[in-house]
A and B are shown apart, each in its own frame.
Chain A
Amino acid sequence: MVDDVLMLVDIARQIIGVGALLLGSLAILLGAIGLLRLGDVYQRMHGAGIVDTGGAGLVLLGLLLLSPDWTVAVRIVLIGGLLIMTSPTATHAIARAARFSGVEPILSTDSKDKEG
């Protein structure tokens, strides 16, 4: 009885893990397409943001659920934490550097007075 329940939990874990992997792959592809299709540097950053958060997060969640061993899980959590801390910093650094070197974003509204 207990064995049956444990096996069911294991199967559920694997199914959710594979689902997260596939969703993450989809998010990564979408982000990469966004990186190619969107209008200017600032907009492309949002595409890269999908790869960094949704894509990486879901793929790592899938691997975490499928990991055979707790030392593997620790490393995956560490990689996730590193990516979550560094990717926004890198994106912000690129945005700031682009703005300071005079790359003007395409703006849709007449909000020219709001920029600094």
Chain B
Amino acid sequence: MPIKAISASTALMFGLWLMLSGHYTGLLISLGLISAIGASLIAYRMGVLDEEGLPLGLLIRLPKVSFWLIWEILKSNIDVARVIMNPASAQPDLVRVKASQKTVAGLVTYANFITLTPGTVAVNVDETSNEILVHGLTKNFCDGLADPEMDKRVSALEGGQS
């Protein structure tokens, strides 16, 4: 449905414009609105305003998971810092992680979350078998990946549809 996607992207861009501009006269605001609409139309014509380019449901549910993610990042930051103080204690390993996401945007978000937490880096994402190859810094991080909590939370981000 083009109207919904175009208006959502226009609203996002115009909101960003309003926050960044800081000048609120009639002329400038209407110029900003026109450029937001123009950019959305061009993006639609380029074909990037689909579920993958503008995953609205995922974006709306993102704040819910972010606090948990920040906590995870802080914990693994401390763990990686400990390894850096003593590099000999690193036990690097490659593990395969099963992903349960159905959409490509969800899979990419999961891989991004894995890379975002220090100590684990997604090396390769296989979208046919839904597997992510992960490099972990120590055994602890690799074992932590076996815990399906993050996978579940990202799948919940995707929502029920599609």
Contacts and interface: CB of A to CB of B under 8 A. Distances in A.
Interface in B75-120: 77, 80-81, 83-84, 87, 90-96, 111-113, 115-119
A68 to B, nearest CB: 14
Interface string A56-98: 0100000000000001001100100000110111011001100
A108 B84 contact: no
A2 interface: no
B116 A53 contact: yes
Majority DSSP secondary structure for residues of A touching B: helix
Contact of B90 (A43, A95, A111): A43
Q: Name the interface size band of chain A.
A: 35 or more
B31 to A, nearest CB: 19
Given A95-B135, A96-B124, A34 B94 contact: no
Given A39-B92, A43-B92, A57-B73, A50 B80 contact: yes
Interface residues of B, number: 38
Given A75-B20, A111-B94, A53 B135 contact: no
A13 B149 CA distance: 34
A109 interface: yes
A22 interface: no
Contacts of A84: 116
Contact of A99 (B16, B91, B123): B123
Interface of A: 27, 30-31, 33-34, 37-40, 42-43, 45-47, 49-50, 53-54, 57, 71, 74-75, 78, 84-85, 87-89, 91-92, 95-96, 99, 105-109, 111, 114-116
Given A53-B116, A114-B94, 4 more contacts: A37-B84, A54-B118, A71-B19, A95-B121
